[in-house]
Amino acid sequence: MSVLESIISGVREDEERRKKSKEHLAQMLKDVPKVRSAREALLRNKFSVIAEVKRSSPSKGDLAKIPNPVQLARTYAEGGAAIVSVLTEERRFKGSLVDFQAVRSAIDVPMLRKDFIVSEYLVEESRAYGADLILLIVAALDDHQLKSFSEIASGLGMDVLVEIHDEVELERAMAINPNMIGVNARNLKTLEVDQRSFERLLPQIPSGILRIAESGMSSKADVSHAIDFGADAILVGEALVRAENPKHLIDEFLSCARQS
């Protein structure tokens, strides 16, 4: 079993344990605050940062304890992050919907629910907890699921970030007419990072589609490299949760676009 398959297996088990009745979920959807457009937030500037609340990862283990995710998320927003991402996968990333909900009630910027969305229920649950944007990982879904989950998310008002790792996945992603595509430089089967993925894939994404560079962003040189190949935004977690001053680091990353 690959790392990705193992994670998805755990996600499905946790979903069943957490699952609410259709009536309860319908009521949550009825009461949830209005969607904040993630796409509009990314289009406001030449280049943007999606800043992530991330305690742990399968590749690096524990990254930061983050006793107060709300305080960290506020720091991100004050530092100029266009979107705040919160990990909600429980086993490998030590996230939770409790974290997500707490942050949602405290900040005004759009929020990405970062998880492995592998069912219709998880799409609806994301909106019920206040997500404005969800991640759909092409490697984790078949073509029917990819199209269906994207349509459900759009019907609920959410934006969708479609994540790819290679040319075949890019072709599959394009079949659902996405408006934002993330190129993840981390191989989800081996967990290795190869930033040459940005060089190969970002230029192949058609104009008009927002291009997000994911994984391996720890320095200004990394960010400039992604910008050089067409990134409109980066999604960064590890570097920020380990930084002494996340606000300053966000500004440094944003300055790469100002200098390019």
For the chain (260 residues), the mean pLDDT of every run of 10, in chain order, is 88 93 91 95 96 92 93 97 97 95 96 97 96 97 98 98 97 98 89 90 96 93 95 96 95 88
**Which residues, at least 6 apart from 85, have a Cβ–Cβ distance to it below 8 Å?**
50, 51, 52, 53, 54, 111, 112, 113, 114, 235, 237
Phi then psi dihedrals of residue 62, to 5 deg: -65, 130
Give the chain's domains with CATH numbers: 3-259 (3.20.20.70)
The residue annotated as part of the active site, out of 184, 187, 238, 247, is: 184
The residue annotated as part of the active site, out of 163, 187, 238, 247, is: 163
**Are residues 7 and 58 in contact, defined by beta-carbon separation less than 8 angstroms?**
yes
The residue annotated as part of the active site, out of 52, 89, 124, 125, is: 52
Residue reference for tokens 């991330």: 54
Q: Is 192 exposed, middle or buried (0-12, 13-18, 19+ CB in 10 A)?
A: exposed
Question: What's the rounded Cα separation, in Å, for the pair 198 and 174?
Answer: 17
The residue annotated as part of the active site, out of 48, 85, 96, 114, is: 114
User: Is there a catalytic annotation at residue 184?
Assistant: yes
Indicate the helix (H) or strand (E) that contains 212. Answer: strand 210-214
User: Is there a catalytic annotation at residue 30?
Assistant: no
User: Is there a catalytic annotation at residue 114?
Assistant: yes
Give the model's pLDDT for residue 260.
63
User: Is there a catalytic annotation at residue 52?
Assistant: yes
The residue annotated as part of the active site, out of 56, 57, 150, 215, is: 215
User: Is there a catalytic annotation at residue 215?
Assistant: yes
Indicate the helix (H) or strand (E) that contains 161. Answer: strand 159-164
User: Is there a catalytic annotation at residue 260?
Assistant: no
**Are residues 130 and 97 in contact, defined by beta-carbon separation less than 8 angstroms?**
no
Indicate the helix (H) or strand (E) that contains 113. Answer: strand 111-114
